[in-house]
Amino acid sequence: MSAGRVGVVMLSIGAFARLVGVSVRMLRHYDRLGLLVPARVDEFSGYRYYSPDQLDRANQLVALKDLGFSLDDVGRLLAEPQSSDLVAQMLRERRTALLEQMRTDEQRVRQVEARLRLIEKEVPMSEHTYVETDLPELRLVQLSARVTEMSQIESEIGPMFQRVNEAVERAGATRVGPGVAHYTGDGDELVAAAAEQVGEAPTPDGLEPARLAAAPRALTVRYTAPDLVGLPQAWQGLVREVERRDLTPAGTAREIYLATPYDGAGSGWDVDLQQPVEWPRH
């Protein structure tokens, strides 16, 4: 495994390749490019030997290559006096990006699974309990945004709720009911709003006042789950039930957040989906 003078540890190319996690062929390639030259080459056999001191440079080289840099760029970066600190910083940034990508990919997997359930109709709509009721008037303070893609709603609504709640807290206003998201069609766009109920209190700075009119008739369904991935499926089921009952959607669709994971340990989502409707069409 090692060779050389007494007291000087020299690693064979095979042993060094194993420690670094690359192939012998790649070490020979790095040698030809001058990126990682063996500490000694036997003049008779041509065998390459590496010093343990070269492990740091080898680790930096492999890390930079894994980050996507060309070998020309790797050579320039390794020539920097502070290359070790630079590589460590770049790896931290890459780690952050990969963790975020993992979270995004996990969310996409859940969305694909939810979409697959919709297509395959694995969850019969009869399992949901639809309730016809009236809806009260709601006085709200809110932030709203115009969107054309559902993905925009997903990226907008959470941060909007955070800003609304921060404004409510700063104003010292008291909530008189659960949080509300509501959606109103406007031509090719959808107006999505994140709102809180603060009764007759003044509208906190940075928010807009809003009022949802009372609805004499609505169809509702309760969505209870650990996450919101199945929310589109629940809305589709509600709209299908509206159609099945020969009703017509009429007015602003509401989501009433009765419980959320932010309410305390172990809390999941408990959301009342509410669609105002008109009387039968005949």
The tokens for 201 are 């209190």
Contact 194, 207 (CB under 8 A): no
pLDDT (0 to 100) of residue 126? 41
Sign of CA dihedral 231, 190, 255, 197: positive
What's residue 280's pLDDT?
Answer: 65
Single pTM value for the model: 0.61
| Spatial distance between the Cα atoms of 156 and 198, rounded to a whole number of angstroms | 22
Pairing of strands 130-135, 215-225: antiparallel
Query: Given this model, what pLDDT does residue 125 score?
Result: 42
Q: Which two tokens stand for residue 230?
A: 């199945």
Q: In the prediction, which pLDDT does 233 show?
A: 80
Contact 124, 203 (CB under 8 A): no
Quickly count: other Cβ atoms within 10 Å of residue 237's Cβ.
22
> How close are the terminal C-alpha atoms of the chain, in Å?
89
Asked if residue 23 lies in contact with residue 31, where contact means CB atoms within 8 angstroms, the answer is no
Beta-sheet strands, E only, within the chain: 11-12, 40-41, 48-50, 130-135, 138-147, 177-186, 189-197, 208-212, 215-225, 248-249, 253-259, 269-278
* Predicted local confidence at residue 195, as pLDDT: 97
Helix axes 71-78, 55-66, angle to 10 degrees: 140
Per-residue pLDDT of the chain (282 residues; tens, 9 = 90+): 445 444 568 899 999 999 999 999 999 999 999 999 999 999 899 999 999 999 989 998 998 888 888 898 888 888 877 767 777 787 788 788 889 989 888 877 877 776 676 666 554 444 578 999 999 999 999 999 887 766 667 677 889 999 999 999 999 999 999 999 999 887 777 889 999 999 999 999 999 999 999 999 999 999 998 888 788 888 888 998 998 999 989 889 999 999 998 887 667 899 999 999 997 655
Q: Give every CB contact of residue 241 below 8 A, 6+ residues apart in sequence.
A: 125, 128, 130, 219, 221
Amino acid at 164: V
Q: Indicate the helix (H) or strand (E) that contains 22.
A: none
Neighbours of 123 (CB within 10 A): 15
Q: Mind giving me the DSSP string for 30-70?
A: HHHHTSS--SEE-TTT--EEE-GGGHHHHHHHHHHHHTT--
